Amino acid sequence: MPASALTRWARTIRPQDVVWVLLFLLLAIPSEYGDISLYLMLAALAAVQVTESRAPALASTRGRILGLVLKFAISFLLIGYTGGIESRYWLVLLLPVVSSGMTFGILGTLAVTLLAGVLYLSFLLWVDPTRFEIDGAGLLARVIFLAMIGNLANTLAEDLRTQSREARSAADRVAEANRQLQEAEEAVRRSDRLAALGQLSAGLAHELRNPLGTIRASSEMLARNLTGENEVAREVAGFISTEVDRANSLITRFLQFARPLEVRPEPADLAQILDRAIGLAEREAPGIAFYRNYAPEIPPFPFDAELMERVFYNLLLNAAQASPPDGAITVKTRPTDGRVEISVIDRGSGIKPEHLESIFNPFFTTKPEGVGLGLPIVSKIVDQHGGTMTVESEAGKGSVFRIYLPLEPPGVAAEPTP
């Protein structure tokens, strides 16, 4: 047999299945009742016992109850067929008792154990006390034995369930810690990239502004000295001034990105700042519906209202630009672990998976006329507040930008603007 087939068999056949099969083979040893009816009842009982944990129909609570009913019915027939109260097969009543102890709580186990005892003792109705001597102590001992096994099975199962819950809880905590660690590492890498590129942008911007000023002054002087007949040269001089202004505006944005932020945290109402940002976004995107889902229990807390309004407006505008003309955007807030979570949710075009790692990089953009500084500046402002920022997105289904701000942020030292 190939090794892969052996592996599949090893995964399919469990150790407890082998134990059950051996038990039923032992029960099937020929005796005075060793006929086909006995073997059929044992085979049916074995089939229910082995398949109850594998069949999807028996995995639910209703399915488990059905399994117990089948075991009780077959066990009752088997004991009655093999001698009733004196049958050596009374031990098959342990099967439903053990199953209930493994799957139900203590009350369910007690109920099933009581039912097993009642079913077994019901065979006394067919005993003639004048012809047979009833061993009351022995019968009581058998019933007590059933109860002990059921209680033991329930105790072991509860211990296993407790350990399983603790293991799942520990695994969830480890997964959450890993996720937070990955987010922290990504935030550190993003901050390092922003710092390095910010220094480069500042140097280039300062070096470019002087020649641009000279070009603009020269174009204005040229326009003033041109005669009225030379319309082409005058138009070209106007183009030069316009493009210089455009380049100068771009350099100003570079400097905003590179310049150290002067954060002034003061207690403010987050809902009011979000409402102001939504109002600005509604004017820019009149066809978009904006929904508010604010948590009323969030108190005023310290943050720079002006800078954070800029953050929210940028995220809302990006969400509106990614949404269809009649789209909807939801702004949601909630407190979580000493922080405030602000979510901007849209159902727009989403972000391609290969772009998710790059959207916070300076100068990365998918917009035809974009510069790629909006999200990096947003991320920088959030970082300066001691917060974090995450994004979840699926192409064609929308995006969720989440900002986490501490309710009690660490002291932010104001840096002088150069």
Query: How does pLDDT run across 278-305, given as a tens digit for each residue?
Result: 999 999 888 899 999 999 999 999 999 9
For residue 414, the model assigns a pLDDT of 39
For residue 256, the model assigns a pLDDT of 65
For residue 200, the model assigns a pLDDT of 67
For residue 9, the model assigns a pLDDT of 44
For residue 6, the model assigns a pLDDT of 45
Measure Cα distances from 129 to 10, 124, 126, 136, 137 in Å.
53, 9, 9, 12, 15
Helix (H) or strand (E) holding 289: strand 289-293
Amino acid of residue 25: L
Please state, as a whole number, how many other Cβ atoms lie within 10 Å of the Cβ of residue 402: 15
For residue 409, the model assigns a pLDDT of 62
Query: How does pLDDT run across 3-41, given as a tens digit for each residue?
Result: 454 455 445 566 666 777 777 777 777 555 557 888 888
- Domain ranges within the chain, ordered by starting residue: 3-126, 188-258, 266-406
For residue 32, the model assigns a pLDDT of 58
For residue 415, the model assigns a pLDDT of 42
Convert 245-266 into a string of H (helix), E (strand) and C (coil).
Answer: HHHHHHHHHHHHHHCCCCCCCE
188-258 with 266-406: one CATH topology? no
The class level of CATH for 188-258 reads mainly alpha
Q: How far apart are CA 241 and CA 229, in angstroms?
A: 20
For residue 344, the model assigns a pLDDT of 96
Let me know: does 278 contact 359? Beta carbons within 8 Å.
Answer: no
CATH code given to domain 266-406: 3.30.565.10
What does residue 290 show for φ and ψ, rounded to 5 degrees?
-110, 125
For residue 195, the model assigns a pLDDT of 66
Query: How does pLDDT run across 141-191, given as a tens digit for each residue?
Result: 888 888 888 888 888 888 888 888 898 889 988 988 888 888 777 767 766
Q: How far apart are CA 157 and CA 102, in angstroms?
A: 5
**Residue segments in the chain with a per-residue pLDDT below the cut of 50:** 1, 3, 5-6, 9-10, 412-418
Q: What is the CA radius of gyration of the chain?
A: 38
- For 367-400, b/e burial (b = at least 16 CB within 10 A) is eeeebbbbbbbbbbbbbbbbbbbeeebeeeebbb
Task: Tell me the residue length of the chain.
Answer: 418
